[in-house]
Structure 1
Amino acid sequence: EEAANWAATGNAQPPAPAAPAVPAPAAPAVPAPAAPAVPAPTSFREAEVLGLRYMQEGDYERALNAFQRGMKLPGSRVDVVRTKMLSGPSPVGGSAGGTEGRVEMKLDEFELQAAHYNIACAYAKLGNVAESVANIQMSFDNGFDNYATVRADPDLSAVHGTAEFNNLMDRYDKKKGFPNPFSFLG
């Protein structure tokens, strides 16, 4: 009967049965585009921002490396380094020698405080209590005195309550508690 239907349409032969569906070959796997390369920081501030970004992303090892690298990079404090010239007359006359100077950019006290504090946070996230507490101490030694922040910072939660942390905080809380010699003035 099917052959008659095909003949009525003018086709002498019915179409060949359809071949079973064969899936098309899979396209070769294309690697996901790589994240853009992060340029190396050239100043303390750039390294600090990069380290804080890594902390937010949970990449504490890279954050620690960025913070440590930042301590070796130029900061915001201008320092003129004078050195004696080895030979030649002084440019202002007089005896041989003289000095020459060069400008260096060093870390100021706030950058040192921030660097050690951020390093302490990264070490705490990595579970290294001793290094974390040592860097909190260095931050205090450079003038950081916001003890309430140190006690409440969730990045330092791994060291909160440890003997090392409690001993450190007890020492600095006592320093902060010195009586004011001018308190009798009102």
Structure 2
Amino acid sequence: MDAQASSTTDNSGSDTEEEGEFEEYEVEIEKPYGLKFAKGPDGGTYIDAIAPGRSADKTGKFSVGDKVIATSAVFGTEMWPAAEYGRTMYTIRQRIGPLLMKMQKGDGRIVQKELTEKELIRAERNSGVISDRVREIQLRNYQRKMEQKERREKDLREGLKLYKEEKYEEALERFESLLGSKPEPNEGSVASYNVACCYSKLNQVQAGLSALEDAMEAGYEDFKSIRSDPDLVNLRASEDFKPLLDRFDESFINEGAINTIKSLFGIFNK
């Protein structure tokens, strides 16, 4: 099915210049979606990146910074509000069939504020003078980063606790919340691996393989665990598992090639 899109303008809000109007649009896309999401300051789900040539990009509708308002339910035609980041990501990954998304165009105000502050800091550093205003911005940025780090650590702790209690869907929400909070590479790789384990436990193989791919792309390299972890048994049963792992585990491929060559030349024969 080809991706489809339509748009509307939300006139239900205030007409004041301060609040403005936010354009809303609906788009139907197929897997692989080609979208990367991030959790916004309000806890909502925002477009963080768009992969060229994928379904989302082909619609020509999405822009980085757009907010997800609602999505298709896991299956069927019902629409679910995107009220919480972790739950929204769970729904998107689990979706069976085309995904219909109701979106709101970003207004750019948050991005512009961040850029302005960065430009101010850069300009004053270049001039050799650091004002109280810049120190205030730097302190606020540091505090924000520490708060985000604490939230990510809390999400990880709660996710692991829920996982041990076999509450896999609830654990997924916590791990997905961590992933949407701009984690460090090591945090992201571990969280994605845990997401893969959750989906494996739920026997949602394709979603699990997608999360496992995310983990390895983020730098997860414990390939021995991936090949033996009992929590991934359902993923390993898929015919797509070995080709996926072989893309990243070059040492395993090289070792296999060396053993084949040794065997051909009788090196193991005494």
Q: TM-score, normalised by structure 2?
A: 0.37
CA distance in 2, matches of 1:44, 1:118: 14
1:145 aligns with 2:253: no
1:65 aligns with 2:173: yes
Corresponding residue for 1:173?
249
Corresponding residue for 1:111?
187
Q: TM-score, normalised by structure 1?
A: 0.53
Preserved contact between residue 189 and residue 219 of structure 2 (Cα < 8 Å): yes
Preserved contact between residue 246 and residue 252 of structure 2 (Cα < 8 Å): no
Q: 1:42, CA displacement in angstroms?
A: 5.9
Query: What pairs up with 1:27-176 in 2 under 5 angstroms?
Result: 43-73=151-181, 106-174=182-250
Total equivalences in the alignment: 107
Task: For residue 157 of structure 1, give the secondary structure of its aligned residue in structure 2.
Answer: helix
Task: For residue 235 of structure 2, give the secondary structure of its aligned residue in structure 1.
Answer: coil
Extract unaligned runs of 5+ from structure 2: 1-148, 256-270
Q: 1:178, CA displacement in angstroms?
A: 5.8
Relative to total residues, which structure has the larger helix share, 1 or 2? 2
Corresponding residue for 2:81?
none
Q: 1:122, CA displacement in angstroms?
A: 0.7
Q: Percent identity?
A: 28
CA distance in 1, matches of 2:240, 2:165: 28
Letter in 1 for 2:169: E
Q: 1:144, CA displacement in angstroms?
A: 1.1
Extract unaligned runs of 5+ from structure 1: 1-40, 74-105, 180-186
RCO comparison, higher one (Cα < 8 Å, 6+):
1
CA distance in 2, matches of 1:47, 1:165: 28
CA distance in 1, matches of 2:239, 2:171: 26
Question: Which runs of 4 or more aligned residues in structure 1 lie more than 6 Å from their structure 2 counterparts after TM superposition?
Answer: none
Q: 1:115, CA displacement in angstroms?
A: 1.2
Q: In the superposition, relative to structure 1, how do residues 160 and 178 fare at CA in structure 2: closer, same or farther (>3 Å)? A: closer
